[in-house]
Chains A and B, each alone.
Chain A
């Protein structure tokens, strides 16, 4: 699939990852337009339901980005997120949604370049898997 552009939902935390994405923008770093960002107060705010809902409504991949461990504005939100998504990842894989479609990573406000790089890599990874939304199973 060459002309497939995945739809990726990104949950970006308000204190680190969103400013990080902002920095990528103000620094004129180019990254794929496949990412739709959603601003959340903290990566701990991202209920696993959000991720499920995104997949249900046809997202091809979901990124959850937060502050580095220890840097959370609310002290512990990202630790909770880490536990949740370690489990969620395994569960999604088990019910047949490839684990590569879910990414949880830490991006600080100073890492605009790294953010762009991450989106590029994740887009490539999801493109390789092909579309998830609306996929029909032979039965």
Chain B
């Protein structure tokens, strides 16, 4: 697989079709890190294995504007897994980057591992082929998982008081480092509500009310835009189960509006549109 990826990246860079190819490379301490390849001779650095968990779509934001004023924005090549391809569709729909400026190398994915363990999200993942790609690498595996929302349902089964206690315990650990926001490909506001000082929506104290506000706000801003790549939770230094929040919204969005994030680049996200005839129970 990796030969094909490297060959394609080399071809793209040599022909000048892209100015940068974003992939994965070997990092320190047996970890994988994102790689930005600018020269054709560097393509040997690229790797692909089950440790490549990062969602590279987040780095596309760096290539949105030209290096010099008046120039065209650069073209990029990018490696995507099926979950990441949903993020790409969100960015295309929101006109963050033009489809024609991105060359997408899609990977068929059997799930990625952290510390040798297949991630939970990959165990439930029913998608093995990206939704959008220019070149597909790899063969479609025949074994797929099944989405079940069991973890969300467990929390839903609690009483409101228990749920509050649960979330207070989790949110209390938050240090407001905003790693979750930075890791998210769909969080790209120039000025985040969490850092706005005028109007001061959230307050600058690192106290429970601010943390609660931040996390609910963050999750809600991603309603219908979260692709479930779990980058936020992996980035969190204190291990807050953010996927529980994101997945709850994904579940409700699917139930209420019949929409899944990034299903294509045309359908607007559910909160940006409406149907006159619909009756939404509270």
Binding site for B on A (CB under 8 A): 48-49, 52-53, 56, 69-70, 76, 79-80, 82-99, 102, 104, 137-139
B156 contacts partner chain A, Cβ-Cβ < 8 Å: yes
Q: Which of A52, A95, A104, A138 has the most CB of B within 10 A?
A: A95
Residues of B within 8 A of A53 (CB): 201, 213
The answer to whether A94 and B163 touch across the interface, beta carbons within 8 angstroms, is yes
- Report 25 cross-chain contacts, Cβ distance below 8 Å, ordered by A residue: A48-B220, A52-B213, A52-B217, A52-B220, A53-B213, A56-B210, A56-B212, A70-B276, A82-B278, A84-B271, A86-B281, A86-B282, A93-B160, A94-B155, A95-B167, A95-B215, A95-B216, A96-B160, A96-B164, A96-B168, A97-B160, A99-B282, A102-B282, A139-B165, A139-B168
Q: Which of A56, A79, A90, A98 has a CB less than 8 Å from the CB of B160? A: A98
Task: Pick the interface stretch among B5-13, B132-140, B246-254.
Answer: B246-254
Residues of A within 8 A of B275 (CB): 79
Q: Say what secondary structure dominates the interface of chain A.
A: helix
The answer to whether B256 and A86 touch across the interface, beta carbons within 8 angstroms, is yes
Q: Which of A49, A82, A88, A139 has a CB less than 8 Å from the CB of B169? A: A139
The answer to whether B212 and A95 touch across the interface, beta carbons within 8 angstroms, is yes
Residues of A within 8 A of B212 (CB): 56, 95
Residues of A within 8 A of B210 (CB): 56
Q: Which of B165, B219, B282 has a CB less than 8 Å from the CB of A89? A: B282
Closest 5 interchain pairs by CB? A96-B164, A86-B280, A79-B274, A96-B163, A56-B213
CA distance A112 to B252 in the complex (A): 34
CA distance A69 to B279 in the complex (A): 10
Query: Closest Cβ of chain A: how far from B237's Cβ, in Å?
Result: 21
The answer to whether B163 and A95 touch across the interface, beta carbons within 8 angstroms, is yes
Query: Closest Cβ of chain A: how far from B259's Cβ, in Å?
Result: 11
Residues of B within 8 A of A93 (CB): 160
Closest to B274 in A: A79
Query: Closest Cβ of chain A: how far from B98's Cβ, in Å?
Result: 28
Residues of B within 8 A of A89 (CB): 282
Other contacts beyond A49-B217, A91-B219, A137-B165: 15, CB < 8 A? A49-B201, A56-B210, A79-B275, A80-B271, A82-B274, A83-B270, A83-B274, A84-B271, A87-B220, A87-B253, A91-B220, A91-B248, A94-B155, A96-B167, A137-B168
